[in-house]
């Protein structure tokens, strides 16, 4: 009887292998399920959704712009690369909407994008808007964003003093060449 108690408390290697195999398989299946669930939960950023919101900002100038900006701001820094890409093909009013979205996102990763616009955008209104956002960020109390924005403003001043800026001939840009290739005028009258 005593031997039987010891046997039950410590299974033989064959019994242990059978017992562990069954538990191990269930554990492996549960772990795989949890891994897949966690991986799908991490994929909260949908680049098509970001693109849809950006399309509203660059193609419209009506009451849909404000809500689209708010929805885009929820993606935070994940939206910045797509916004930067859209800057190259949007009309000036679309770029202004995108600058407003970057300001609403309020992430220091947008500083280089705004710095580039403040120096090189062909439209003076867009350059000024980008510089205004950087100025507001430089004056903020954010310990991460404020120094980056101040450094960007210093870089903008340095480049302008060196004569670096947009390629323009007169106020209208290059004669006969649109400032933004393929950018149609936004839909709407601008009343929000």
Find the mean pLDDT for residues 73-102.
95
Task: Establish if 181 belongs to a structural domain.
Answer: no
Q: Does 144 fall in a domain?
A: yes
> pLDDT (tens digit, 9 = 90+) per residue, 137-146?
999 999 999 9
Query: Is residue 157 pLDDT above 70, yes or no?
Result: yes
Three-class SS of 134-172 = HHHHHCCCCCCHHHHHHHHHHHHHHHHHCCCCCCCCCCC
| 93 within a domain of the structure (yes/no) | yes
Q: What is the pLDDT of residue 105?
A: 97
Q: Which residues of 156-170 are buried (b: 16+ CB within 10 A; e: fewer)?
A: beeeeeeeeeeeeee
- Asked if residue 38 is part of any domain, the answer here is no
Higher-confidence position of 177 and 87: 87
Specify if 74 maps to a domain: yes
Mean pLDDT, the chain, integer:
82
pLDDT at position 47 over 80: yes
Domain membership flag for residue 123: yes
- The reply to whether 153 falls in a domain is yes
The total number of structural domains that make up the chain: 1
Average pLDDT for 22-29: 64
Q: Supply the range of the domain harboring residue 107.
A: 47-161
Q: Stretch 174-178: mean pLDDT, rounded?
A: 55
């Amino acid at each position: 009887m005593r031997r039987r108690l010891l046997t039950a408390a410590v299974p033989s290697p064959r019994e242990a292998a059978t017992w562990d195999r069954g538990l191990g398989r269930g554990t492996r299946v549960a772990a795989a399920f949890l891994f897949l669930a966690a991986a799908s939960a991490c994929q909260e950023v949908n680049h098509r959704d970001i693109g849809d919101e950006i399309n509203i900002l660059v193609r419209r100038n009506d009451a849909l712009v404000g809500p689209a900006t708010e929805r885009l701001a929820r993606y935070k820094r994940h939206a910045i690369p797509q916004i930067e890409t859209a800057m190259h093909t949007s009309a000036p009013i679309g770029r202004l909407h995108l600058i407003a979205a970057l300001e609403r996102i309020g992430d220091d990763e947008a500083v280089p994008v705004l710095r580039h616009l403040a120096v090189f955008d062909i439209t003076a209104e867009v350059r000024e808007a980008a510089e205004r956002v950087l100025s507001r960020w430089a004056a903020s109390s954010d310990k991460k964003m404020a120094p980056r924005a101040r450094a960007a403003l210093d870089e903008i001043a340095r480049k302008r003093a060196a004569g670096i800026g947009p390629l323009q001939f007169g106020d209208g840009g290059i004669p006969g060449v649109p400032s933004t290739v393929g950018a149609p005028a936004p839909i709407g009258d601008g009343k929000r």
